[in-house]
Amino acid sequence: MKTLLMKAGARENAVLAAAAVAAAAIAFAGPAFAGADTTFDTALTQFTGFLEGSGGKIITVLSLAGGIVGLASGRFSLGQVAIPVGVGVGAGTGIPIVTSTVTATI
């Protein structure tokens, strides 16, 4: 137990060292600008283009094919028609909506 206790001088030195580190961090911190980072712009542009173009069409067709297979199996539900329509609408118009919302928020 004695080895865990610091002497009074050691505690003061630790507090001073922590204060010096905090002061240095504040002094050398650069400004932060929200939305100014362009690190992932290329990836975002590629992914958005894919989903708005051929990728969105492929996803919609696959969803429609899944609905048709469900209908052919003899079980009918409105979801088998509504889900592919929702996927198509989401791929066509949802991407710009989400992108503009994220851009406006950030």
Count of the separate structural domains present in the chain: 1
Instruction: Determine the Cα–Cα distance for residues 48 and 45; give it in Å rounded to an integer.
Output: 5
Tens-place pLDDT, residues 21-36: 887 777 777 766 656 6
Tens-place pLDDT, residues 40-99: 788 878 888 887 778 878 887 888 888 778 777 777 777 777 877 788 777 777 777 777
Instruction: Determine the Cα–Cα distance for residues 81 and 65; give it in Å rounded to an integer.
Output: 10
Is 36 a member of any domain? Answer: no
pLDDT band at 105 (very low <50, low <70, confident <90, very high): low
Is 72 a member of any domain? Answer: yes
Is the pTM higher than 0.85? The answer reads no
Is 1 a member of any domain? Answer: no
Is 75 a member of any domain? Answer: yes
Is 51 a member of any domain? Answer: yes
For residue 82, give the nearest of 58, 98, 66 by alpha carbon.
66
Is 25 a member of any domain? Answer: no
Assess whether pLDDT exceeds 70 at residue 8. no
Structural domain including 99 reads: 41-105
3-state helix, strand, coil in the chain (%, to 5): 75, 0, 25
